[in-house]
Structure 1
Amino acid sequence: MASRRSARLVALNGSTTLLAAAPMPPPVAPAARSRKRKAETTAPEAEAPAPTQPEQATPVTPQRRRPVKKDATPPATPTPSAVGLMAESHSPFPNNNSNSDGPTTPLPKKPRSAAVSRLAGPDMTNAPLLSPQTSRLIASSPIDSVSPSKIPSLPGRTTTANILEEACAHLIKVDSRMKPLIEKQHCRIFSPEGLAEEVDPFEALASGIISQQVSGAAAKSIKNRFISLFDLGPENGRFPHPSQVAATSIEKLRTAGLSQRKAEYVQGLAEKFMSGDLSAQMLADAPYEEVLEKLIAVRGLGKWSVEMFACFALKRMDVFSLGDLGVQRGMAAFVGRDVAKLKTNKGGKWKYMTEKEMEEIAERFRPYRTIFMWYMWRVEETDISTME
């Protein structure tokens, strides 16, 4: 045991001597071990370290994106297409259904009714009306049929031949800015030819219901499919009688593209004509206030629809609609406002001017406010700078 121990001591002493004789190299700094590496050593199952990220430039706050303002576009007014559909006729007493006052697709052209000079007036129904069930014509008296004893009093009397001319002269007299509008735009619907076209009031009102909340093209298509539901004989396009519509099931009416409610409204309207609650004679003779009250009581007919019917089917000359956006916009442009700057009331509705302002402006144009309203739809089609 002692000899082994002495041998180890000798060997240890020898190595110590050699180390002392050799020059000592500079101490080597121990390799830096990161905490991550240490963690990897002690925990082999840890994930590999992420690659070193390059130095980033000084962070800059990104510019705030400003929301792009979209052009404020008002909801489209349905007036032109609704009026075109309401004013056309499929009656067996044919006329030319191509109506320049609305963008609806014209029906196959039929011979025009001859323009007969009849007694007319701003507070009258100036359209010849067809009784929906019998097709009997109800119209004011032709001048030729007036008793000869009354002929001396006729010069200067308003007739269907001159009522539009009188109305336009009145509008220009009230406000000279109407002159360029009237010179550029011909109001055919109230011309002698337009006042000669016969109107089926049941068809006109039903067309107004059909056109609600749909485009003009869609309304036209639905109306044509509605007509095709009935066996109407060789006329091929005559609008059905109220009795035919009343006898048809709601399910069948809906196959034309009508909603459940619209089918019920049209059928209810037919029943009103069948019962006599509504008639062509009443619509021709009654004061406007009575016509308005009677028709608003019918399900599916609101005030705007009745106003458009009174204007463009009955051809009454002194009706004015406060609820028509197209009229409101035209009036705002007419008085020189920038219609691109829209206003809204608390309910979020589009506004160009208030109802009170509209009433005050339109009041001056009595008793031809319908004609004034028609021209307000055309303001933006005319260079209004010439009005100043």
Structure 2
Amino acid sequence: MNDSLEYLIKKDEVLKQAYCDLGDPYIPCRPEGFETLCKLIIEQQVSLESAKACFKNLEANIGNIIPENILKYSIEELRTFSISKQKASYLIALSNAVVEKTLNIENLSLLNDDEIRNQLIKVKGIGNWTIDIYLMFCLQSKDIIPLGDIAVVNTIKELYNCESLEEIKQVSESWKPYRSMATYLLWHYYLTKRNRKPIIY
């Protein structure tokens, strides 16, 4: 058992029970870079099954997911590849930020979490949920709680009998400095209770 899991199950009886019942959570890991940010944009507010299908369709039509390839297409053209109008505009905004060098994705790992957030939030279509997931999956940040994630919020509500965002935040505060691992446990619980598996692509 790693240090973060050991810390959490000693401190929180609810997470301890979840761990005892379900075992080790799946720890997502994705490569840093432009393609992953594109995936996260496509994944916003839709199921991972739907997002995977959209991404694969985009990839089949434009080839390598690089800024130069995305910028060959207009918003309307990207929509024909199963990308919504809004997300097409976000993909173009991200591509322009990289090409124009207002965003250096390769250097993000050299910054702290707050500095990374300040860089990414400037890009149209990249909000706190997208940044949280990038920090967790790509940069292995240990203390992230994505409260824009409905599965996380609903699982906290269910397990801790709380409703308001303030109550949810109070619960999550006790998991510092390992809120990312707490999140993985919550996702594990959420998926297991619904007989679902993590989607990897």
The alignment's TM-score, normalised by the length of structure 2, stands at 0.81
Higher relative contact order (CA 8 A, sep 6+): 2
Q: CA deviation at 1:300?
A: 1.3
Tell me the equivalent position of 1:306: 131
Tell me the equivalent position of 1:254: 79
The residue identity in structure 2 corresponding to 1:221 is A
Shift in CA distance, 246/368, structure 1 to aligned 2, threshold 3 Å: same
2:120 aligned to which of 282, 295, 298 = 295
Alignment of 1:211-250 (within 5 A): 211-231=43-63, 239-250=64-75
Tell me the equivalent position of 1:356: 166
The residue identity in structure 2 corresponding to 1:216 is L
The residue identity in structure 2 corresponding to 1:224 is K
* Contact 1:209/1:265, CA 8 A, preserved across alignment: yes
Alignment of 1:125-274 (within 5 A): 165-183=2-20, 184-189=22-27, 194=29, 199-231=31-63, 239-274=64-99
Q: CA deviation at 1:171?
A: 0.5
Query: Hey, what's the Cα distance between the residues in 2 that align with 1:307 and 1:250?
Result: 26
Q: CA deviation at 1:260?
A: 2.5
Residue 62 of structure 2 aligns to a residue in which SS?
Answer: coil
Q: CA deviation at 1:277?
A: 2.3
Residue 377 of structure 1 aligns to a residue in which SS?
Answer: helix
Shift in CA distance, 189/267, structure 1 to aligned 2, threshold 3 Å: same
1:321 aligned onto 2:150: no
* Contact 1:334/1:379, CA 8 A, preserved across alignment: no
Shift in CA distance, 214/321, structure 1 to aligned 2, threshold 3 Å: closer
Q: CA deviation at 1:225?
A: 1.4
List structure 1 runs of 4+ shifted beyond 6 angstroms: none
Q: CA deviation at 1:327?
A: 1.8
The residue identity in structure 2 corresponding to 1:188 is Y
Shift in CA distance, 274/217, structure 1 to aligned 2, threshold 3 Å: same
Tell me the equivalent position of 1:92: none
Query: Hey, what's the Cα distance between the residues in 1 that align with 2:32 and 2:9?
Result: 33
Identity of aligned residues (%): 27
Tell me the equivalent position of 1:366: 176
Q: CA deviation at 1:178?
A: 2.4
What value does the CA root-mean-square deviation take over the aligned residues?
2.4
1:280 aligned onto 2:105: yes
Shift in CA distance, 221/322, structure 1 to aligned 2, threshold 3 Å: closer
1:376 aligned onto 2:201: no
Structure with greater helix percent? 2
The residue identity in structure 1 corresponding to 2:187 is W
The alignment's TM-score, normalised by the length of structure 1, stands at 0.45
* Contact 1:330/1:378, CA 8 A, preserved across alignment: no
Q: CA deviation at 1:223?
A: 0.9
Alignment of 1:113-124 (within 5 A): none
Query: Hey, what's the Cα distance between the residues in 2 that align with 1:264 and 1:322?
Result: 25
| Residue segments in structure 2 that go unaligned for 5+ positions in a row | 194-201
Largest Rg, 1 or 2? 1
The residue identity in structure 1 corresponding to 2:49 is A
Query: Hey, what's the Cα distance between the residues in 2 that align with 1:361 and 1:300?
Result: 29
Q: CA deviation at 1:212?
A: 2.9
